[in-house]
A and B are shown apart, each in its own frame.
Chain A
Amino acid sequence: MNHNYQKDIAGCGLTGLISRKRKRVSGAAISKSLTLMTDRGNGLGAGYAAYGIFPELPEHYAIHAMFDYESSRREMEESLRLRYDIEKIEEIPTTPVGSIKISPKLIRYFVKPKPERLRDANEKDYVVRTVMRVNSQIEGAYIFGSGKNMGVFKGVGNPSEIAEFYKIEEYEGYIWTGHTRFPTNTPGWWGGAHPFTLLDWSIVHNGEISSYGINKRYLEMYGYKLTLLTDTEVAAYILDLLVRKHGLDMRTACSVLAAPFWKDIDRMEEGEREAYIALRSTYGSALLNGPFSLLFGHSNGLVGINDRIKLRPLVAAEKDDMIYMASEESAIREICPTPDKVWAPRAGDPVIVELEDS
């Protein structure tokens, strides 16, 4: 069993927005919001995720990959061609930024699984297996995005530098998340920046999961390979397991991540109490314990959630069809000066926002 790993620890700032009517918003807004919180990071990692930015190829998996060596690229592409029909390959557009001296090779692929390879397998499981295989087996190759009609832009730098590098003001999406990092024990690594994504799920996360050890071992039992060694990765895979594989709705999945206390469960009515006892006693190893606030984007919405005693900040605001969530209220007011409503979500109580047509 793999126990000789070094876990990645980081403090952070995060921000996100969603237009429930699918109005597409320029990336300029999210980078402005995040840049206000530059002091929550230390320049060793920042990133953005956007939904709805590839309307021309919405049904293809947008595989975003970074390569340290040309050989890793060759090896991955070979493996990809074997398993997928590739519609389009392009370098992710970037522009030189003075402070970003080196970057990996950044390529995105728009692909669909080859039907003859997929056969009866679940398409999403098939894609997840590809991501796991590449990230754990191909030296110097790393897939950091694998969703449909969504993109991920991240690297080592502060929020404004990464936004400039990827020219994110040129993209328009209806859900955006952004993240700046303060890693405390690792040199910055491009793959280690947030958002962390799997399929169309993206997570930005502030906190340290004190239960990481058991969360990791629990996920490994279900075949997940935790290559990143970050808390964020754990949160993403747990949601993938609970929602996609076990079929829990988002609110229920959140009540596993940040489980209600026994004293509150004991006060529930019989039927509900039974359900929560079953959930907690079965999914105890999936409880995310320790301080966190996280934003979780998916193709139909955005979710914000805190740990169950709110050890990290999270503020939410509403303006017309827009919902904003961020580590600091100032980061929201920076791009939405007069929200209709501002509130601090309660500990463990998720803010679940869905697109109106979903």
Chain B
Amino acid sequence: MFKSQALPEFLATIDNDKCIRCKRCIQNCGWSVYEWSGERVLIDSSKCVKCLRCYHYCPVEAIQILDNPTKYKENSSWTFNNIKNLKRQAETGGMPLSGMGCSLPYPILFDSLLLDACQVTNPSIDPLREPMELRTYLGKKPNKVEVERGKDGKLKLKTKMPPRIELSAPFIFSPMSFGAISLNAQKVLAMAAKECGIVMNTGEGGFHEDLKPYSKSVMVQVASGRFGVNPEYLNAGVAVEIKIGQGAKPGIGGHLPGEKIPLQVAKTRMIPVGTDAISPAPQHDIYSIEDLRQLIYAIKEATGYKPVSVKIATVHNVAAIASGIVRAGADIVYLDGFRGGTGAAPSVIRDNLGIPIEHALAAVDDRLRQEGIRNEASVVAAGGIRSAADAAKAIALGADAVAIGTAALMTMGCTVCGKCYTGNCSWGITTQRPELTARLDPEVYGQRLVNLITAWKHELQEILGALGVNAVESLRGSRERLRGVGLDDNILDILGVKPAGR
């Protein structure tokens, strides 16, 4: 056994003068960085991922997690990660994995887009004084509505409306399965979704019975592994999502290792305890758009026509694909940009495949309008929504709603350390180890997530007020209210946005 040449990224340190030997760090670390020597805490920095659990739980602030001062010689071509991955591959012959979204510095267009505000010629509206409406309906809309005015002057609806999901605001939670995340983490999402009037998504991990009280705030997912799918499951929530792909790993499947499959996960997924849960790359009954159409309608038949969402990773030809999905009968198209998160993906896939959500969203919204079918489905934008500002910009580009995954996990303690695939999450989120998951109190963290959504609602309302509109539908697709800074003509053209100053 030789010492690995893959350098540790971090250096965990303890100030032994301050340390009171309470051993909380040992207890809290899911990665076994700390060990008790009998006199003091010993440290193995090579295991440290800088999740900061120990730092937050050290009562005397004795712990500092530093960047490892020992680095490979700096070189702008051969970065730390390049070299480290290469060393690990040389030692193991395997594919380095990553959790969370792409960490490479590709341009983030949200940061080059600015929203408008009112001055003089149109008044801004104060959300503290006036209604400021965020309510959103996801799903198909008819081309036109027929109504009849009765003798009493009251309107009566004649059009049969397609099924839709009502949201109090244009936010939903991204699909994250029980297995990839803990049941407590799913409960946090479900409780917050219910409280906030939005929806969470089970991901491809079945529907645990503990989520039953929240079923009106749950969307269930059908993916290539078909875990936990039966008629009861399909009808457990308000809608069903067919997952074709995920932004972090377009074109590849999923692999939940047997270590993350204890009894509860196994039961919910309907597989034996301890077996690997493999989601194939494609769905083996969907090799074409017409196959997708059959599955969409099979699910509609099985659910009494609940809305069906189709989730795809944003790849180069996303506009044509989305158009096909809409024509195949989907009620919602869920676009997952390449910066979207994951519990586990080969780093090479996560960091190099797909396109950003901004480009994809603009292209899809344009295409659906050109074809005159924009009303046929709602568009959800995901994969890199970090703030209410990103959400507002995505909505202005054309999204009906945005999906939040990583941001929601952060309210539970996540620091985007990116090691979800290890199953050691010290915050109890992406782990099934009972001593770790028990830390995540759904009540406490549910409230934090409610706080986040409440804050984002307020921020979105402030943005709308500054824009001088009092309903989110007046921002939706209104690219006239965006300007680009430092973007070239091609990108502006793709986004359908003018440069600042024009």
Interface of B is mostly: loop
Q: Contact between B155 and A287 (Cβ–Cβ < 8 Å)?
A: no
CA distance A277 to B203 in the complex (A): 30
Partner of A311, one of B123, B164, B375: B123
B246 within 8 A of A: no
Asked whether A57 is an interface residue with its Cβ less than 8 Å from the other chain, the reply is no
Q: Does A337 interact with chain B (Cβ within 8 Å)? A: no
6 nearest A-B residue pairs (beta carbon): A213-B480, A284-B473, A213-B478, A289-B474, A211-B474, A208-B122
Question: With a CB–CB cut-off of 8 A, which chain B residues contact A121?
Answer: none
Beyond the given pairs A249-B149, A282-B375, 10 more chain A to chain B contacts, judged by CB atoms under 8 angstroms and listed by A's residue number, are: A3-B479, A3-B480, A210-B122, A221-B372, A247-B146, A262-B131, A269-B154, A284-B473, A285-B477, A309-B130
Chain A positions near chain B (C-beta within 8 angstroms): 1, 3-4, 6-7, 9, 11, 184, 207-208, 210-214, 216-218, 220-222, 245-249, 251-252, 259, 261-263, 269, 271-272, 274-285, 287, 289-291, 308-309, 311
* A246 and B144 contact, CB distance less than 8 A: yes
Assembled-state Cα–Cα distance A259/B474 (Å)? 12
List the A side residues contacting B481 at CB < 8 Å. Answer: 210, 213
Taken together as a complex, chains A and B put the C-alpha atoms of A280 and B481 apart, in Å, by 22
State the total of A-B contacts with C-beta under 8 angstroms.
140
Task: Give the residue of B133, B145, B155, B474 whose beta carbon is less than 8 angstroms from that of A282.
Answer: B145
**A213 and B144: CB pair below 8 A?**
no
A-chain residues with CB within 8 Å of residue B502 when the two chains form the complex: 4, 6
B121 touches A9 (CB 8 A): yes
- Establish whether residues B145 and A11, one from each chain, have CB atoms under 8 Å apart when the complex forms: no
List of B residues within 8 angstroms of A213 by Cβ: 477-481
The answer to the question of B156 belonging to the interface, with a C-beta cut-off of 8 Å to chain A, is yes
Across the interface, A7 reaches (CB within 8 A) one of B146, B370, B480, namely B480
The complex places the Cα of A280 from the Cα of B141 at a distance, in Å, of 10
Taking CB atoms, residues of chain B closer than 8 Å to A309 are 125, 130, 470
A291 is contacted by which of B122, B164, B476, B496 (Cβ under 8 Å)? B122
Known contacts A251-B149, A290-B469; A285/B157 CB under 8 A: no
Residue of chain B at shortest CB distance from A307: B470
**Option from B141, B144, B149 in Cβ contact (under 8 Å) with A281:** B141
Given contacts A3-B498, A210-B118, A281-B141, contact A216 B480 (CB under 8 A): yes
Interface status of B467 (Cβ within 8 A of chain A): yes
| Bound: A245/B154 CA distance, A | 22
B394 vs chain A, min Cβ distance (A): 14
User: Is B159 on the interface with A (CB-CB < 8 A)?
Assistant: yes
- Nearest CB on A from B129, distance (A): 10
Q: Which of B116-134 contact A (CB under 8 A)?
A: 118, 121-123, 125, 130-131, 133
- Judging by beta carbons under 8 Å apart, are A272 and B141 in contact? no
Complexed CA–CA distance, A262 and B135 (Å): 8
Closest to A4 in B: B498
In whole Å, how far is B236's beta carbon from the nearest beta carbon of chain A?
25
Q: How far is the CA of A269 from the CA of B152 in the complex (A)?
A: 13
Least Cβ distance of A208 to chain B in Å?
Answer: 4
**Chain A residue nearest to B494 in the complex (CB):** A1
A80 CA to B149 CA in the complex, in Å? 40
User: Does B1 sit at the interface, judged by CB under 8 A?
Assistant: no
Q: A11-B121, A275-B157 are in contact. Are A283 and B145 (CB under 8 A)?
A: yes
Roughly how many angstroms separate A285 CA and B379 CA in the complex, as a whole number? 14
Q: Could you give 21 example pairs across A and B, Cβ below 8 Å?
A: A3-B498, A4-B498, A11-B121, A207-B122, A208-B121, A210-B118, A210-B468, A211-B474, A211-B478, A214-B475, A247-B144, A249-B149, A271-B157, A272-B154, A274-B157, A275-B156, A279-B147, A285-B473, A287-B474, A289-B471, A291-B123
The smallest beta-carbon distance between A116 and chain B, in angstroms, is 29
- When distances are taken between beta carbons in the complex, the residues of chain A under 8 Å from B96 are none
Residues of A within 8 A of B467 (CB): 210
* Residues of chain B lying within 8 A (CB to CB) of residue A212: 478, 480
Query: Contacts of A251 on B, CB cut-off 8 Å?
Result: 149
Q: Are A281 and B123 in contact (CB under 8 A)?
A: no
A277–B147 Cα gap in the complex (Å)? 12
Q: How far is the CB of B136 from chain A (nearest CB, A)?
A: 9
The count of chain B contact residues (Cβ–Cβ below 8 Å) is 49
Q: Is the CB of B476 within 8 A of A285?
A: yes
Chain B residues whose C-beta falls within 8 Å of the C-beta of A247 in the assembled complex = 144, 146
CA distance A216 to B474 in the complex (A): 11
Judge whether B21 is part of the interface by a CB distance below 8 angstroms.
no
Task: Verify A214–B145 contact, CB threshold 8 A.
Answer: no
Asked whether B142 is an interface residue with its Cβ less than 8 Å from the other chain, the reply is: yes
CB of A106 to closest CB in B, whole Å:
30
* Most chain B CB neighbours (cut-off 10 Å) among A1, A207, A269: A1
In the docked arrangement, what's the CA distance between A9 and B468, Å?
Answer: 15
Complex Cα gap A184–B497 (Å):
22
What A residues does B137 contact at CB under 8 A? 277, 281
- Residues of B within 8 Å of A280, CB to CB, are 473
Chain B residues within an 8 Å CB radius of A211: 469, 474-475, 478
Partner of B147, one of A221, A245, A275: A275
| B-side contacts of A291, CB under 8 Å | 122-123, 468
Q: List residues of chain A with CB within 8 A of the CB of B159.
A: 278
List, in ascending order, chain B residues with CB within 8 A of A261's CB. Answer: 131, 133
Chain B residues lying within 8 Å of A259, measured Cβ to Cβ, are 471
Provide the B452-479 mask, 1 if CB < 8 A to any CB of A, else 0.
0000000000000001111101111111
Residues in A with CB closer than 8 Å to B9 are: none
Q: Contacts of B104 on A, CB cut-off 8 Å? A: none
Using CB atoms, name the residue of chain B closest to A220: B369
Min CB distance A210 to B, Å, is 4
Q: Could you tell me if A282 and B121 are in contact, using CB atoms closer than 8 angstroms?
A: no
The smallest beta-carbon distance between B441 and chain A, in angstroms, is 34
B478 touches A214 (CB 8 A): yes
Q: Determine the chain B residues whose CB is within 8 A of the CB of A220 once the complex forms.
A: 369
Cβ contact within 8 Å between B145 and A210: no
Our pick among A217, A283, A290 for the contact of B122 (Cβ within 8 Å) is: A290
**Which of A4, A252, A277, A279 is the one whose CB lies under 8 Å from B149?**
A252
B144 lies within 8 A of A271 (CB): no
- Closest residue of chain A to B141 (Cβ to Cβ) is A282
- Does B444 lie at the interface of the complex (its beta carbon under 8 Å from any beta carbon of A)? no
Given contacts A1-B496, A3-B498, A4-B498, A284 and B476 within 8 Å (CB-CB): yes
Name the distance in Å between B403's Cβ and chain A's nearest Cβ: 20
Q: Quick check: is B366 within 8 A (CB to CB) of the other chain?
A: yes
Question: Chain A's nearest CB lies how many Å from the CB of B389?
Answer: 18
Closest to B495 in A: A3
Chain B residues near A263 (CB-CB < 8 A): 131
Residue of A nearest to B144 (CB): A246
Tell whether B359 is near chain A: CB-to-CB under 8 Å: no
Chain B residues whose CB sits within 8 angstroms of the CB of A290 once the complex forms: 122, 468-469, 474
> Which residue of B has the minimal Cβ distance to A269?
B154
Which positions 356-415 of chain B face chain A at CB distance < 8 Å? 366, 369-370, 372, 374-375
**How distant is A213 from chain B, measured CB to nearest CB, in Å?**
3
Assess whether A289 is in contact with B144, with CB atoms less than 8 Å apart. Answer: no
Determine whether the beta carbon of B123 is less than 8 Å from that of A278.
no
Q: In the complex the two chains form, what is the Cα distance from A250 to B370 in whole Å?
A: 29
Minimum CB–CB distance for B379 against chain A, Å: 13
| Alpha-carbon distance between A283 and B137 when the two chains are bound, in angstroms | 12
By a CB distance below 8 angstroms, the chain A residues around B156 are 271-272, 275
